[in-house]
């Protein structure tokens, strides 16, 4: 059966959701959805999409003036102000988004949150947490390609907030309306960026049409 992948009309329901509709992202996302795309290409596509999404998600970072000597004279340039941005992948699949974003923001710090969905209850199970100590002073990009029921993302945001974080953006590649609702209900201050708001969840809480199990497709573990 052929279906339209996304629910563009539903995106307007969510004020904290940005669907990044850049043509290059949409082209790469279609390759990512393709069940015949092999692991190596899948990994490259996640990396490239993450970099392009990060470009959009950082478009409102604060700048400060800085003096710079060109070969000809001094001038005033601008640099991103404040402490280094921190990327926080949710293990495992979020790891696939880190390298692409680091190419764009090489000075970013990288924390990690270990979570997996219990297959029976679908609730997230925590197993690892490490972020820089001065979390209150940093901007965080929380990374996971999939926002399905939203349980994992909501739990990861709660962990970051317990560590002191106040400025958190969530970057995913495919989101279900159910996940966006759960995350925004739990954390109204978190801006969500996705390449697609898909139709919904199936009976096993997989996103449809989605792209399958992102972790398995990234790491070849199916």
Residue 156 binds: one of ligand PRP, ligand URA, none (C-beta under 5 to 8 A by kind): none
Q: Measured from the CB of residue 65, what is the shortest distance to ligand PRP in angstroms?
A: 40
Question: Among 151, 177, 209, 210, which residue sits at the site for ligand PRP (rule: CB under 6 A)?
Answer: 151
Q: Measured from the CB of residue 84, what is the shortest distance to ligand PRP in angstroms?
A: 25
Our answer to whether residue 18 is catalytic in this structure is: no
Indicate which residue of 10, 117, 126, 181 is catalytic.
Answer: 117
Considering only residues 39 through 98, tell me which ones interact with ligand PRP, judged by CB under 6 A: 90-93
Contact between residue 197 and residue 7 where contact means Cβ atoms under 8 Å apart: yes
Our answer to whether residue 213 is catalytic in this structure is: yes
Please report which helix (H) or strand (E) contains residue 42, including its range. Answer: helix 39-57
Contact between residue 30 and residue 200 where contact means Cβ atoms under 8 Å apart: no
Going 108 to 114 to 118 to 119, the CA torsion angle's sign is positive
Residues 6+ apart with CB under 8 A from 218: 39, 42, 43, 46, 92, 93, 95, 96
Q: Measured from the CB of residue 207, what is the shortest distance to ligand PRP in angstroms?
A: 8
Our answer to whether residue 58 is catalytic in this structure is: no
For the annotated catalytic residues, the residue numbers are 117, 121, 213, 216
């Amino acid at each position: 059966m052929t279906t339209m992948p996304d629910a563009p009309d539903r995106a307007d329901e969510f004020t904290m959701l940005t669907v990044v509709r850049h043509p290059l992202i949409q082209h790469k996302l279609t390759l990512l959805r393709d069940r015949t795309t092999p692991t190596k290409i899948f990994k490259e596509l996640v990396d490239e999409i993450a970099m392009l999404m990060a470009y959009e998600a950082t478009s409102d970072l604060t700048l400060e003036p800085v003096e710079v000597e060109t070969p000809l004279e001094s001038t005033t340039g601008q640099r991103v102000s404040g402490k280094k941005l921190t990327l926080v992948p949710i293990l495992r699949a979020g790891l696939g988004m880190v390298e692409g974003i680091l190419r764009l923001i090489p000075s970013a710090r990288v924390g990690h949150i270990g979570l997996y969905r219990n297959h029976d209850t679908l609730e997230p199970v925590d197993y690892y947490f490490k972020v820089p100590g001065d979390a209150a002073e940093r901007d965080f990009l929380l990374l996971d390609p999939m926002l399905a029921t939203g349980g994992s993302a909501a739990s990861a945001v709660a962990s970051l907030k317990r560590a002191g974080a106040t400025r958190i953006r969530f970057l995913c590649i495919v989101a279900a309306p159910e996940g966006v609702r759960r995350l925004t209900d739990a954390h109204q201050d978190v801006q969500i960026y996705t390449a697609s708001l898909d139709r919904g969840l199936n009976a096993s809480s997989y996103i449809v049409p989605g792209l399958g199990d992102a972790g398995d497709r990234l790491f070849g573990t199916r």
